[in-house]
Structure 1
Amino acid sequence: MSDTRGGWELPISEHELTRLTEDLDEAHRTYLPAMHASAAELTEQIRDQQTARARKGSGLAGQASRRGFLLGAGGVAAAFALAACSSSGNAPSAAGASGAAGGAGSASPSSMYTGDLQVVALATALENQAVGAYTAALAAAKAGKLGTVPAAVGTFAQTAMSQHSDHAKAWNAVLTGAGKPAITDVPLSNQPATLQALGAVTDVGGVAKLALMLEQQAAETYLFATYNVTSPGGIATAATIAPVEAMHAAILNYVLGQYPVPDDFLGVDKAASPSLLTV
């Protein structure tokens, strides 16, 4: 075990954490081609919908392709198979991360993102939020503000941050492909509280608790999306990312000494609502 200032210690060995991070990276690389393919499919479907509305002057969506439907169905199956690696343990709610997506929710009335693009915008913002949190945590560690940080913890943080960045790029490609602006910041109403919570942590354990909250929020938001978006490509994209987010959460539970117990079903009570969007 590795001690840090304030009495926090890594409950598992650095070797174990390194192995878990390597498994995570392998899973991410495995899902990456399917993620890009389904994101491209989603872009095509949204363009078809836009063309159909322009031609017919109605809100009718374009017909989804057989390939898109099969891709969506396969992605959902994968999400249910792998999301069970997430823990049922409770994450802190101090940063007010979730918007409790018990319903479809809505962004601001003047939002430029509507329909499935609203969910895409929310997903992009959540990914950017996670990237920012890990970036800030790594900077704090480098500045010595978190005590002695085990090297394996830093490697995990770098890996998770890179994967969130990949996810954000995939979602932004959908937005720009649909003629909408990319989201490069964090237009979420809970971001100030998240930054405040991050600035208050003084050790690795505190960072891990906050990161766990964000990871669980992301994983459950993606699961919620598989039930609430209309495009098969959107369902498939969310389903290929959800298992990776769940693996992030599972590893953070190990870092916190909370052995992850597989759930029969990943919940959605911590899922973010589109109402969090400020654009």
Structure 2
Amino acid sequence: MKRTFILFLIIFILPFICLGINPDREYILKPDAIGLDYKEMIINAGNATLKAWIIDPKTDTQKNTTIILAYPDAGNMSYFTYHASIFASHGYRVVTFDYRGFGESSDFEVERMNLYHDEFIEDLTSVVDKVSQTYKTDRIGIWGLSMGAVVAVQAYEQTKDHVDFMILEGLVTDIKVHASRLKQAKDVEINLPTDFQSYPQRLRTIDIPVIVFAGTEDTLTTTQDAIALSEEMKNMEVITYEGGHLRGFQAWEPQDFGQGYLARVTEFTQSF
């Protein structure tokens, strides 16, 4: 019953609370609760320490590929344990971590109405550095969701020597436009980062393979945005699905949570 409730929470509620930074300090599901082998790691990020979980591939068909999850602006990494299990069960190593102020990472005073904090960029950069040192023969990808996708873009300059590809969903292509949409649709005003005007150009400097998942019913990060960007960036592939913001994992076959998503990621990672 508890697992059913947690899966319900993850699938149906999480996409709708990502309208302001909303950390959760309590873990709702650790990997070993669903039979995953994992290790805990503490990663230094400037003056902060981050809690991370390393979830090793569950099958013998290891892909020598590590995926680092940069999740959205609510919850903590435990909200994505089921998501991680899908990849781990098909040969991927998955690294999840908590930004400072989330889960069991260092205390941090979060400004709820920020789009993100610059410190989250430092957090992701530090995780990439540690993972690249630990798994030197693996290809490394960042899986960025909504706020996590923005953070991944902003961190690219610092991580590009170690990151081989990106998987992005709920991708903001223009921060000012995104803020306007939030105001109009949800009556939410976010604090714009100081460098928001440079973000579109930073996005276009990414020169590694990128796959973007975009929902046809997502009015905040639209399929039109993603497709228009992909016409400029030939290294970008767009996968559209029927559904709203961050609903990609349940978009194809609801009874097979994440399998359609996994299949498209695997096709993508095998293409380069």
**TM-score by structure 1 length?**
0.25
Higher helix share: 1
Which structure has more RCO (C-alpha within 8 Å, separation ≥ 6)?
1
Higher strand share: 2
Greater radius of gyration (CA): 1
